[in-house]
Amino acid sequence: MAEMLAPAGGFGKFVLVVLALSVVGNMVLSNYSVALCLQMLVPVFAKVPRFLFIVATLANMIPMSIYAAAKWEESLVNFLSVIGYWAGCFDAIIIEELIVFRNMDYRSYDPEIWNQSRRLPTGLAAIGASLVSLGLVVPSIDTPWFTGPIGERIGDLGFESAFVVTGMAYYPLRTLELRVMGHV
């Protein structure tokens, strides 16, 4: 990056400093979020000091970063493609939940119950729909690390497959979840 910005002179150095500081700022928030999420997902972890999770996260991230830096472009493409497939599932669920099950009523999301697990959806419908979609997503992938039979013939359709199949599977699973739980 420094060599690419070298022709810009002092401005290039300024951009590098801003970039370095923004990366550090982003990592602080990400590491704190990881620690907070771990404490919310597993209630026993709430007793563990948050900074220990941050240290453990950094202990994992540093060797992974060193490895990824050697093959930066390939690592970035692989990482972004995996996030893209997950985003297809996530987008389908969020959109369908809002439009179909909550009738576009944002007031149906109650922020007061965020930590009352009995009043929240179990999430099993979302997990199930995402897992079901893997049956078509995996053959539709066309990435440097894996190419499925569909992806090989017509290109990468992993995101589109994830979105469509997750959306189709989520409706019956969420309907069943609502019948069992009795509330949105």
User: Both tokens of residue 95?
Assistant: 């959109």
Model confidence at 184: pLDDT above 80: no
**Rg of the Cα atoms in the chain:** 21
Position 128 confidence tier, pLDDT thresholds 50, 70, 90: very high
Mention every residue, 6+ apart, whose C-beta is less than 8 A from residue 54.
Answer: 31, 32, 34, 35
pLDDT exceeds 90 at position 83: no
Looking at residues 32-58, what average pLDDT do you find?
A: 90
Instruction: Return the C-alpha torsion angle 128, 134, 136, 140, nearest 10.
Output: 150
The number of beta carbons lying within 10 Å of the beta carbon of residue 91 is 15
How confident is the model over 133-138, as a mean pLDDT?
95
